[in-house]
Structure 1
Amino acid sequence: MRYAQGGGFTPQEQRRREQVRLRAAEMFAQGVTNAAVAKTLRVTQRSVERWRRAWREGGTAALASAGPHALPRLSPAQFARLETELQRGPLAHGFADQRWTLIRIKTLIGRMFHIGYTLQGVWYLLRRNGWSCQRPARRAIERDEAAIEVWKKEVWPQVEDPRRPTAPGSASKTKPVKG
């Protein structure tokens, strides 16, 4: 099943869903029908049927959360070390320019920790730890900020079309035109 932003449930959401399943187990023990359980817990009947089957086969323990599907391969200490290296910049690690790409970060992880990641795995790792995708604004090397400011202040006001005519003679809807 896919969730928003390509991830799964957060640990907090997993605990909440586990509580819903455990509440369903209590209702199963009381003999409540699947339809009533679904309506009360605001879930689909199909989910309730799946939970009831698991409950019959393994009891309440079968409805407990199995935890995250995949544990991060980098420990928090390793990720903190990776962040320090990312802040040093790509030039410090032998790359040609100042842009971090997923391929470069994957290479850095491999060099530092001897752990192989896919590009998608690197993206999930970064997003899970609060990083975001940022694209640099492309600017010409010859760009002269001072000249741009002068142009905006002096030339643009002369070229710009005024939004409203300033000369008298424009018709108004509120005053009748005398002819």
Structure 2
Amino acid sequence: MFGQSSCSRGGVSHAEIARAVGVCAESVRRWRRVWEQDGASGLRRRAATGRPPKLDDSQVEMVRAALEKGAQVHGFEADLWTLERVGVVVTRATGVVLSRASVWRLLTGRLGWSLQRPERRAVEWDESEIARWIAHEWPRIKKGP
């Protein structure tokens, strides 16, 4: 494929290769330079590196341990976690400030947590008292005076 760089040397042009493969000609030129410099091993697929995470594995475990203690231990009124609250705990535990999106990725990706919505139920909710009321009080009220 990369034996010739242009039609003038008897091979297929970069543009023709690009059309056949479905990429731009510049990609073909780049691949050719890599092939000439490093051979076929230079063209092997490599894992995308991307930006390194702000928290290393030990910091993630520190955050996990802190979050598992509950929100009230960290001074929050209700024992519910929000992205903002988790962000505060991350900063306190590690000194690293994360955006809301990064906190979400930390929770759902590296910690494996999922979104949980609290039940909208009164704290005083008592199933046995409700059953008793339905069985005894409701028939009396329905019957009337």
TM-score, normalising length: structure 1: 0.55
1:93 aligns with 2:70: no
8 Å Cα contact 2:84/2:100 also seen in 1: yes
Instruction: Give 1:128-167 correspondences, 5 Å limit.
Output: 128-129=109-110, 130-150=112-132
| 1:6-155 matched pairs, under 5 angstroms | 28-29=1-2, 34=17, 38=21, 45-46=22-23, 51-59=27-35, 61=42, 64-65=45-46, 67-129=48-110, 130-150=112-132
Residue in 2 aligned with 1:171? none
Distance 2:66 2:99 in 1: 19
* Distance across 2 between alignment mates of 1:143 and 1:88: 25
Give structure 1 regions of 4+ aligned residues with deviation exceeding 6 angstroms. Answer: 30-33
> Take 1:55 and 1:128, find their aligned partners in 2: how far apart are those partners?
34
Go from structure 1 to structure 2 and tell me whether the alpha carbon gap of 1:124 and 1:46 turns closer, same or farther (over 3 Å shift).
same
Q: Work out the percentage of aligned pairs sharing the same amino acid.
A: 32
Structure 1 residue 37 displacement after superposition: 6.7
Q: How far is 1:119 from its partner?
A: 0.3
The CA deviation string for residues 70-109 of structure 1, in whole angstroms up to 9 with x for no partner, is: 2211111111111011000011111111001110111111
One-letter code of the match for 1:136? P
Distance in 2 (alpha carbons) for counterparts of 1:86 and 1:50: 49
Q: Secondary structure at the match of 2:23?
A: helix
Q: Which moved more, 1:123-132 or 1:60-69?
A: 60-69
Aligned-partner Cα distance in 1 for 2:58–2:94: 12
> Is contact 1:55-1:63 (8 Å) kept?
no
What 5-or-longer segments of structure 2 have no aligned partner?
4-10, 137-145
* Number of positions where the alignment pairs a residue of Structure 1 with one of Structure 2: 121
Q: Tell me the distance in 2 between the aligned counterparts of 1:109 and 1:78.
A: 9
- 1:91–1:67 CA distance, 2 compared to 1 (3 A): same
Instruction: Could you tell me which runs of 5 or more consecutive residues in structure 1 were left unpaired when the two chains were aligned.
Output: 1-27, 39-44, 156-179
Q: 1:68, CA displacement in angstroms? A: 2.9
Partner of 1:11: none
Paired position in structure 1 for 2:142: none
1:102 and 1:119 in contact (8 A); partners too:
yes
Query: TM-score if structure 2 supplies the norm length?
Result: 0.66
